[in-house]
Amino acid sequence: MGIISILWGIVALLWMLLAFIPLLGWGNWFMIPFAVVGAIIAGLGILFGEKGKNGRAKAGLALNAIAILVGLFRLFVGGGIV
């Protein structure tokens, strides 16, 4: 599950970068739930993985968390969340 969460986080970060382009900020509304699913997958990988071998899941959780936080910040600053 660690590799899946890392790949999911990379896709979420690329999507987040795409949403920085003017007039494509609406993509954050779809990227945030996508990244939340990736964070859930990473959490399951941490929870059910072996104790010493959950570094990939932790990295995936970090990538997805960054994408979620930046997406929420963009929506807040850009007036997407009123």
pLDDT of residue 52: 84
Torsion of Cα atoms, 26 then 28 then 32 then 34, to 10°: 80
For the chain, 82 residues long, give each residue's pLDDT as a single digit of tens. Answer: 889 999 999 999 999 999 888 888 888 899 999 999 999 999 999 999 888 888 999 999 999 999 999 999 988 887 766 6
d(CA 12, CA 71): 10
- Helix residue spans in 1-82 (DSSP H): 2-18, 28-48, 55-78
pLDDT of residue 82: 60
pTM: predicted TM-score of the whole model, two decimal places: 0.88
pLDDT of residue 6: 94
pLDDT of residue 3: 92
